[in-house]
Amino acid sequence: MFRSQLLWRFYAGYVTIILISTLIVGVLVSRQVTENGLKEIHHSLAVRSEFLAEIAKYSLREYSTQKGRRSLLDTRSNSLQQTVVQLGNKTDSRLTVIASDGAVVADSKELPQNMDNHGQRPEIINARAKGSATTLRFSQTLQQRMIYRAQQVTENEQTIGFVRASLPLTIIDKKLAQLRLIVLFGAAVAAAAALMLGFYFAKRFSDPLVKMTEVAEAISQGDYDKRITVKQRDEIGQLAEAFNRMAKSSAQRMAEITTDRNRLAMIFTGMVEGVIAVDQHQKIIHINQAAANLLELSMTTCLNKPIWEQVRIQEINSALELSMTSQAVVKTQMRRPSEADDLVVDIYAAVLSSDAGESIGAVIVLNDISELDRLERIRRDFVANASHELKTPITAIRGLAETILDDADMEAETRHSFIEKINTQSLRLSQLVTDLMTLSRLESDQNERDVQLVDLAEVIRRSAAGVKALCQEKQLTLKLALSSEDKIVVAGDMQAISQLIDNLVDNAIKYTPSGGVICVSLCKDQANAQLVVEDSGIGISPQYQQRIFERFYRVDKARSRELGGTGLGLSIVKNIAEQHGGSVSLTSQPGSGSIFTVVLPI
């Protein structure tokens, strides 16, 4: 509190006023006291000289006669001398009685006969002319400065002598010094009291202002719970109450702003779209996590920096620049090819305006549609592939049938060959439709599976038995590595799991050349069963492995058609595994075979 600059500035001004006022009053009072003291001394000397004139009048009257002069000169130690000495001692002054011719008749300090004629003394000369006179001069007799008051003594309008009363200036100076000291002490006491009272009132005045400053500082730091406690009912008290009301109102408004800001922050954070807000200088003032992840930025270090410095993507910067220039919404798209799926982002840039219509910044929304683009591409490929796969057998069947119908004389052997080809193509068409229906059934949310306990080892053995003849025909070795100690049982659809295993084994047989080896193994850990189908076939390059489970996708379409199949087998495998809470993965290298791993929960 005592460090308050306001208190000391206010008090310093008050001290200056008090000291100047005290100095002026002290000087004026000192001068007045000095003048009054001098007047009092003059009055005292006048009174003494009046009394002395009355006392010495008889002696001076006698001295004025020739007889009396001789008599008085012979008796200098008469009663007048004694009276003057006694009065001088009692009044601490020098009293002198002087005849009209200047001879000293009596003196309180010296014997009259030892004193010079005083007729030419300044005070006597002035008193002879004016009746009374006061003079300040150095006394040769006493060897010090004196103040003299001389008064003419008259009788019947005749001057019969003079009386003189005097005081040393040292006594007068001492009395005046005492008076000045009293005045100084009084002024000092008054000034000290005024300063203490002034400090009290200055502190009382500045304390509420200091408290207001502290509360204002706390509010500026975000502490809106601070309040000012002032018991005064004057303007300062009213100001404090108004300040408290303002602080309360500010706290409420800040709480509302904070709530709205947090709500917007939660909305921005929860948005899958990336959002970037910039000011009128294109500096980033807000970015959500989705945008930071998409652009590989830090949400903290990129703030308050130019967007063109942090984001080196031409489409975004161009859209922002065009939007702020045209004051309109700009839409564009960014596409970045990659080995896997392309990165495709829709970019929207819009200007932010104030209530006055002035531009205060812009907002950029980034919508990552890579997955939608991938699904759209898959859909297009599926439609194209399905149409092609359906069209091929239908075209063949139609052509063969029309040939038979158009040639009534066709040889029986040729007709039989055409009918066998029609049968083969119809079987292919039937298998394709069956696989499509199976895939549709697996992807249907409304489908209810027939859940039962399935012994995986038993299903694998049945699948191996079903392809035994085919393996012998292609001269392939099919090995089974099954656990004989414990049964590995999963809960699921027996038909679907059997189809999963059949498709994986059939796929291995198709792409494994003669003399190759196919190994089917089964093991488990605490929570999962692991089915592995490994072949020594042609293998698959890494760039194709991500798409191998798509519908109708083939790495080598010509070879796949020669080997038969619909191109839906691995897609069905993936759907069945996911329907049972599991997964399927592939490990392969060209020329080194492939390893398909299916994990199913026990």
Q: Tell me how far apart the alpha carbons of residues 81 and 64 are, in angstroms, rounded to a whole number.
A: 17
**Residue range 451-601 in CATH 3.30.565.10:** yes
Rounded to two decimals, what is the model's pTM?
Answer: 0.43
Cα→Cα distances 120→124, 133, 166, Å: 7, 14, 17
State the CATH architecture for 374-443: Orthogonal Bundle (1.10)
- The reply to whether 374-443 and 451-601 are identical in fold is no
Q: What string of DSSP letters covers 41-79?
A: HHHHHHHHHHHHHHHHHHHHHHHHSHHHHHHHHHTTTSH
Q: What is the reported pLDDT for 422?
A: 83
Sign of CA dihedral 130, 133, 136, 140: positive
Q: What is the reported pLDDT for 253?
A: 84
Q: How far apart are the first and last CA of the chain?
A: 75
Contact 597, 587 (CB under 8 A): yes
Q: What is the reported pLDDT for 39?
A: 80
**Residue range 5-176 in CATH 3.30.450.20:** yes
**Segments of the chain scoring below 50 in pLDDT:** 1, 67-68, 70, 75-77, 446, 558-560, 562-563
Contact 438, 499 (CB under 8 A): yes
Indicate the pairing of strand 477-481 with strand 94-99.
unpaired
CB contact set of 597 (below 8 Å; sequence gap of 6+): 530, 531, 532, 584, 585, 586, 587
Domain boundaries in the chain? 5-176, 271-368, 374-443, 451-601
Q: Which CATH class is domain 271-368?
A: alpha beta
Q: What is the reported pLDDT for 573?
A: 83
- Using a 10 angstrom Cβ sphere, with 0-12 exposed, 13-18 middle and 19 or more buried, the burial of residue 346 is middle
Sign of CA dihedral 135, 137, 139, 143: positive
Strand partners, 335: 344
| Amino acid symbol at 57 | K
Tokens 């492939």 found at: 594
In 340-411, which ranges are continuous DSSP H helix? 370-406
357 torsion bin: left (phi>0), alpha (psi -120 to 50), beta (else): left
Note the pLDDT tens digit of each residue in 544-571: 777 777 766 666 554 445 445 566 778 8
Q: Tell me how far apart the alpha carbons of residues 147 and 42 are, in angstroms, rounded to a whole number.
A: 9
- Using a 10 angstrom Cβ sphere, with 0-12 exposed, 13-18 middle and 19 or more buried, the burial of residue 586 is middle
Note the pLDDT tens digit of each residue in 128-155: 888 888 888 877 766 777 888 888 888 8
157 torsion bin: left (phi>0), alpha (psi -120 to 50), beta (else): left
Q: What string of DSSP letters covers 554-567?
A: -SSHHHHHHH---S
